[in-house]
Amino acid sequence: MERGLSADLLAFRQRVDTFIQAHWPSQAPTAEALPAWRQAVVEAGLSVPRWPESAGGTGWNPTQIYLWRQACAAAGIPLEQEVGVEIVGPLLLRYADAQQQARHLPGIRSLADTWAIAFAEPVAGIDYSAMQCQARPYTKGWRLDGEKCWVLHGHAAQWLLCFAYLRQACADADVSGSVGLFVIPTDVAGLTCLPQTSFDGSQHLASFALQDVRVPSDALVARSEDGAEFAHLFLTRDMSTLSQSAVARAQLDVLDQQLDQLDPQDALHAQRHAVAVALEALQAMELRYVDALQRQLEVPFPLDLLQLRSREILLKLGALQVESFGYYALPYPDEMLLHNEGSIGPDTAAATVRQNLAQHVAAMYEGSAEALKDTAWRELNSTRQ
């Protein structure tokens, strides 16, 4: 990572490393490590690094944000408030009025409020055009009805960012048929959370049933005619996507420790080498993307392409880890969260979700899945030349 960095960026990276070493344990973290880390980043003004300075951000440029996220990911620091910091906050800064921002941004910035996104549905999946959840106006605000599923960390969230179709009974209304984004407290009447137990006994995912959930008018923070813009904001996590090569590198290091005990001729070594080559190409693509952001140029490819590529590599790493030493030694089990039972493979729940995501992203860019694969192939080859 340090190769090719300027003196200023090297000094910045050293300051970041020093901060992490001072506030995050190098060995296995204890239960107190995460609260202490959160307090440290809030006090240092680093909790929302890519927000504008006027909203409490750092003022860092894209390369500095990338180096910060890479360092945090490499250290294994969990980002449990990532939804609030990376998606909800920027969305509120872009669409919400001053009163809505004053109500919600401080809690996100202080990492005190936890958020989850209620987007996917049992029938529609992540296809917003088939969304069934609806919001209807009433005298004091909106009434929401529907179901949401696959809500990551939904059981622990204090707030939901909920997608719903707007239905208006008045003849002169102009919002009927558009997609609205609602901010909903999880303790509101009519909202039921159903946690889903994962393979390790934890409950990372939840479903929500909304039955006559009533919220005030200002709970609607934004609306879009077709929902495409909101779907893009949800599926693309900007700089958080650009930390995935560091997460994968940490997994690869753990895997190497196990493979050292195997015969060098074992087939797992060849598979590991293929993943390592793909990982080098992924990081090269990340650097190209960040360089374009830094120089305010047109980005060389959609960020979704990096997201898909990184997820593919993480799934392959997860499969190798399971094959070599089982579920419970996985350092980053994120890719296993959708596996409530059965082995990892092309027919499992996570693979289906990724396939749906790939198809959806391809549709967003008015291209076929094959065209998206062609783009990925060209970009990967260009990084090897």
The residue out of 202, 226, 250 marking a domain boundary is 226
What Å distances lie between residue 91 and 66, 96, 133, 203, 362, CA to CA?
A: 20, 8, 21, 27, 23
Distance CA 152, CA 155 (A): 8
Looking at residue 178, its pLDDT comes to 83
Tell me: do 250 and 213 sit in the same domain. no
- Domain limits at 251? 236-383
44 inside domain: yes
Model confidence, pTM: 0.73
92 inside domain: no
67 inside domain: yes
Tell me: do 202 and 250 sit in the same domain. no
Tell me: do 210 and 277 sit in the same domain. no
The residue out of 51, 77, 103 marking a domain boundary is 77
Distance CA 17, CA 75 (A): 9
DSSP 8-state class, residue 85 = I
Tell me: do 211 and 251 sit in the same domain. no
Q: Dihedrals φ, ψ of 169, to 5°?
A: -80, -25
Looking at residue 362, its pLDDT comes to 46
Tell me: do 274 and 338 sit in the same domain. yes
Would the CA dihedral through 253, 21, 246, 383 be positive or negative? negative
Tens digit of each residue's pLDDT (9 = 90 or more) over 226-244:
666 676 665 555 566 777 7
182 inside domain: yes
The encoded tokens of residue 75 equal 């250290």
Which helix (H) or strand (E) element contains residue 371?
A: helix 369-383
The residue out of 195, 226, 257 marking a domain boundary is 226
C-alpha closest to that of 358 among 368, 344, 345, 348: 368
What Å distances lie between residue 60 and 83, 253, 301, CA to CA?
A: 20, 29, 23
End-to-end CA, the chain: 19
**Residue 165 in contact with residue 136, Cβ under 8 Å?**
no
221 inside domain: yes
The residue ranges of the chain whose pLDDT is under 50 are 170-174, 200, 327-362, 364-370, 372, 384-385
Q: Dihedrals φ, ψ of 136, to 5°?
A: -120, 140
Looking at residue 346, its pLDDT comes to 41
Tell me: do 128 and 72 sit in the same domain. no
Tens digit of each residue's pLDDT (9 = 90 or more) over 304-339:
778 778 878 887 887 777 676 654 444 444 444 444
What CATH number is given to the structural domain containing 165? 2.40.110.10
Distance CA 104, CA 109 (A): 9
**How many separate helices (H) and strands (E) can be counted in the chain?**
12, 8
Tell me: do 259 and 211 sit in the same domain. no
43 inside domain: yes
Distance CA 343, CA 326 (A): 10
Name the H helices within 58-178.
62-74, 82, 89-95, 98-109
Tell me: do 245 and 368 sit in the same domain. yes
Tell me: do 215 and 152 sit in the same domain. yes
Tell me: do 179 and 266 sit in the same domain. no
Distance CA 187, CA 156 (A): 11
Tell me: do 249 and 343 sit in the same domain. yes
Instruction: Name the residue with tokens 């005298």.
Output: 139
Looking at residue 281, its pLDDT comes to 87
Tell me: do 27 and 121 sit in the same domain. no
**Into how many domains does the chain fold?**
3
SS3 145: strand
242 inside domain: yes
66 inside domain: yes
